[in-house]
Amino acid sequence: MAVPDDTLKNTSVIGRLLEEISWEGASVRGYRLGGRGRENVLTAEIFLPLGYLPRRAFLGEVLRVAHGADEARAAVIRDIEPAVLTLLPDETVLPPTGIVVQPDATLVSVSTHVLVEAKRIRASSFSGGATSAGVPGPGSRRWAADAIAACRSRLATPVRLAGHAGRVALQEAVTLHLGTVYNRVDGVPLDLDEMTRRLPETLAWITWSEIQQTVACQAGRCANLDQELASTIRRLSASVTTAIDWHA
């Protein structure tokens, strides 16, 4: 009988999703309809095929059409092929406060580090246990902490905040509680003013509909490839566009 290799880690998209679901206790019943509308399920169903599709043509193009942090996104795209995509990575604890940072995904290369914060398609706001910048509490500290942990680029959308009318720009959302988190965390290499100044250089966003349109457009451009390869790309692309429709 083969001896299990303890050096192997749970790095697959499905494995990471199952591990996250395992912590949800009785609320796991909410997945009986396939997890429809759940952020983690949506994120997994999008990033699993994006991890397999030709990187520069698909995930790289998604980054290209995103908004903000132009130089950072360009740097990520240059390194997109060998970058390591991880869904629901392990938590990072910021000393000495114990503030927990866990983005929905990371994309890491030798020179770039992207934190992905995905929100569900249905209407929602940052509050309570969500990664919130709108109200005091663990959620708001975690959102701001993500900005401290980020390096080079971050992919997210303009957000609704509890107690605020309409949507709030990413930079404003992070800035609301960045100072509070900064003053409680040790070992931050930049001062607060410099971090605040760099936010426009490190924050980027894209909508689910833009991802859907981009993937569909890129799939159409591959129609003239070898039939077997084109069919594979078409199936993987369709799983992205269909998932977004289904969760919406």
Rounded to whole angstroms, the Cα distance separating 193 from 196 reads 5
Rounded to whole angstroms, the Cα distance separating 238 from 139 reads 34
Q: Are 159 and 173 in contact (CB under 8 A)?
A: yes
* Residue 211 CA, distance from chain mean position: 13
Rounded to whole angstroms, the Cα distance separating 135 from 164 reads 10
pTM: 0.81
pLDDT one digit per residue (tens) for the chain, 248 residues:
555 555 678 889 999 999 999 999 988 988 988 999 999 999 999 999 999 999 999 999 999 999 999 999 999 999 999 999 999 998 888 888 888 888 999 999 999 999 998 888 865 544 322 232 222 334 444 444 544 444 334 445 567 776 677 778 878 888 888 898 899 888 888 899 999 999 999 999 999 999 999 999 999 999 899 999 999 999 999 999 999 999 98
Domain boundaries, the chain: 13-247
Q: And the tokens for 62? A: 């998604």
Rounded to whole angstroms, the Cα distance separating 193 from 189 reads 12
